[in-house]
A and B are shown apart, each in its own frame.
Chain A
């Protein structure tokens, strides 16, 4: 069971690795860390505190913190959507964090609404029917070889920081060889 302290440590380490800072507004920071912690407890993964999650891992993968949209948002606005991760400039309060436009595509946002949150058998049935089809593929980074299995390639390679354009779909064919005994 993770504690709120683990959530904080994880965010601090992640900020350090990427050269970001955590929100300097201590109240906002506390609220966001508590939100992440609560989501981890109720969904089993720390989905973004400021976005509506479906509660289904495969539909929420892009908004698990740090979300897919963090790096391009920090790049364009100096902060992530929630304002948890910021640049040094914003951290030093030369600018203050503010709500920024949502970069997550609308069709992905819609997934949190089609999923039923009720546990009754009837609604679970309709929820399954309504669950959107997701096509997961293998992607590899042409720069460093990192491979991931997901719907879209990441905006930034988590290993070598190459941009999304460096990712290509990996076509794999598996062959089952018969054992010669």
Chain B
């Protein structure tokens, strides 16, 4: 999958963000991660290939999440739909 990697000082956790390029909440999630200097990778689902789209769909659904964006997956095990900031702070130990 073609993800964009964003460097950050805080790389304690592996953070993967599935987003839509036009979505306000997804932009907010990216801003939150940037402001907190979290290292993460993201992919804009509306701009990727159909093959990647389907991989993302499968990934979210096998983890039991709804097909909604933003979806954040932390350390390959915790899925957070909507990227709620209080939950992100808790899991990322901010």
A interface residues, Cβ below 8 angstroms from B:
28, 31-32, 34-36, 38-39, 49-53, 82-83, 98-99, 101-102, 106, 109-110, 112-113, 115-118, 123, 127
B23 x A50 contact (CB < 8 A): yes
Number of A-B contacts (CB under 8 A): 71
B46 x A52 contact (CB < 8 A): yes
Q: Which chain B residues border A127 with CB–CB below 8 Å?
A: 50
Interface check B13, CB cutoff 8 A: no
Q: How far is the CA of A50 from the CA of B25 in the complex (A)?
A: 8
Q: How far is the CA of A109 from the CA of B53 in the complex (A)?
A: 12
Smallest CB separation, A82 vs chain B (Å): 6
Smallest CB separation, A124 vs chain B (Å): 11
Which residue of the partner chain, among B25, B27, B28, B45, contacts A52 with CB atoms under 8 Å?
A: B45
Given contacts A31-B24, A99-B82, contact A117 B49 (CB under 8 A): yes
B84 x A49 contact (CB < 8 A): no
Closest B residue by C-beta to A23: B24
Q: How far is the CA of A49 from the CA of B28 in the complex (A)?
A: 14
Interface check B34, CB cutoff 8 A: no
Q: How far is the CA of A123 from the CA of B49 in the complex (A)?
A: 11
Known: A34-B22, A99-B82, A117-B48. 20 other contacts (CB 8 A): A31-B23, A35-B21, A35-B22, A35-B24, A39-B22, A49-B20, A50-B20, A50-B24, A50-B26, A82-B24, A98-B84, A99-B81, A110-B57, A110-B67, A113-B50, A113-B53, A117-B50, A118-B50, A123-B50, A127-B50
